[in-house]
Amino acid sequence: MSSGVTGVPALLEVARSHGISLGSISPTLFEDQDYKFGSLGNPDPLIREKATQHLLDSAEIARQTGSRDITPWFADGSNYPGTCNMRRRRGWFRDGLRRLHDSLAPKQRILVEYKPFEPAFYHTDIADWGMALLLARDAGPQARVLVDIGHHYHAQNIEQIVAWLLDEEMLGGFHFNDRCYADDDLTVGSIDPYRVFRIFHEILFYRWERGANPDISYMIDQNHNLKPKIDEMIQTVTTVQELVAKAALVDYEKLCLRQSQSDLIGAEECLKRAFHTDVLPWLREWRKARGLAADPLEAFRESGYRERVIAEGRDLLV
C-alpha cells in the first residue's frame, strides 16, 4: 500500500489525515509468475480461480475504503498463433467478470480496460473498445468501459470511440496520459494537447445535447519516473483545467448550424478558435477567487517544499 502502512484501516486513517478519499481500486493481475499465461484467460482453472478471488478481494477492499470503481487491467494474451483458444478465453473472462459483478455493492462499478498489445503481441484478450464493451455488457449493468488514452494504435480516432461509448451510455472513465509511440504514459497534453481538447469537446458536446452530465471517472495514469512527481502532477491538473476550459468555449449552437449546412471550414473553426483561445488569465482569476495560487506550479516550486523533504530524507514521492 505505502511505506509504513499495513491494512485497510491504517490506510484509511492516513488518507483521512490528509483530507483525501480513495477513488478506485485497481487489482494487479500480471506481476505474479502464475499469470505468465494469463489470469482470467489462463488455461489452468486453479490460476483462473486465483485471479477471480483476487478480483473479489479487491471488491471487498473497495467496499471498506468507500471506493466506487474497481478498475482491473488484464495483460492476458498470446505471442504465437495457435497457442490458445481465443473463443474459450473470452468465455473464461465472461465468467470471471460476472462473478466480480455479482459481488458488487449497489453503487459499485467495474470499469473494463482494453489495450491492443503489450505484453502480448499476437493477440490480446481485451484488445479494443468493442471487446471491452461486450465484456462489460456481459458482466452486468454495473459495468462500463475505461478508456486509456495511450491504449490505441496511431491511426485510431479516440474521440470517436468516446462519442460512441457516450451514445451507448457505456463510458465509465478515463486514464489520462499522452504518448508519442505507444503506451508511453507521458504527461497529459505534452505531445498532442489538441487531441485531449477534442476528447473533452465530445464530452461537453454530449452534455450540451443531452442536458445531463455523463457519469465519468477521471484518473491519471502516467509514468512519474523522470520528472519530479509532485511537479508533474500539478502540471497535469493545470493542463487538464486549461483544456476543459478551452473545450467549454465551443459555440455549440453555431457548430450544429455549420454541421447541418455542411460548412466544413465554419464547423472546424468553431473548434480551432476555442482551442487557440488563451484561457490562462481567466483560470488565474478563478483560482485567486477561491484562495488558491494563481499559478499552482510556480507557487509549489517557490515554496521550498521539495528541498525540505529531501533534507529530511523523505524524498520518496517528490
Residue 314's pLDDT band, with cuts at 50, 70 and 90, is confident
- 58 falls within a domain: yes
Q: pLDDT tens digits, residue range 116-135?
A: 999 999 999 999 999 999 99
- 19 falls within a domain: yes
Q: Rounded mean pLDDT of the chain?
A: 95
Report the alpha-carbon distance of residue 128 to residue 235 in Å, rounded: 29
Domain of 88 in residue numbering reads as: 1-148
pLDDT of residue 5: 78
Residue 113, strand partner residues: 146
3-state SS, one letter per residue, for 86-122: HHHHHHHHHHHHHHHHHCCCCCCEEEEECCCCCCCCC
- Which residues have a Cβ under 8 Å from the Cβ of 172 and sit 6 or more positions away? 69, 109, 111, 112, 136, 143, 144, 145, 146, 215, 216, 217
Among 288, 193, 296, CA closest to 245? 193
- 312 falls within a domain: no
pLDDT of residue 4: 66
- 25 falls within a domain: yes
Q: Is the pLDDT of residue 1 over 60?
A: no
- 203 falls within a domain: no
pLDDT of residue 316: 65
- 193 falls within a domain: no
Average the pLDDT over 183-188 and give the result. 96
- 109 falls within a domain: yes
Q: pLDDT tens digits, residue range 259-273?
A: 999 999 999 999 999
Report the alpha-carbon distance of residue 304 to residue 311 in Å, rounded: 11
Name the DSSP class of 39: S
Note the pTM of the prediction, 2 decimals: 0.94
> Which of the two residues, 21 and 39, has the higher pLDDT score?
39
Phi, psi of 31, rounded to the nearest 5 degrees: -80, -30
User: What percent of the chain shows pLDDT beyond 90?
Assistant: 91
The answer to whether the beta carbons of residues 239 and 227 sit under 8 Å apart is: no
- 90 falls within a domain: yes
Residue 73, strand partner residues: 28
Report the alpha-carbon distance of residue 297 to residue 235 in Å, rounded: 6
Q: Percentages helix, strand, coil for the chain, rounded to the nearest 5? A: 50, 10, 40
Write down the residue that cell numbers 500480471 correspond to: 30
Average the pLDDT over 271-286 and give the result. 98
The answer to whether the beta carbons of residues 122 and 77 sit under 8 Å apart is: yes
What's the structural domain count of the chain?
A: 1
CATH no. for residue 34?
Answer: 3.20.20.150
Report the alpha-carbon distance of residue 227 to residue 235 in Å, rounded: 10
Q: Is the pLDDT of residue 295 over 60?
A: yes
Average the pLDDT over 230-238 and give the result. 96
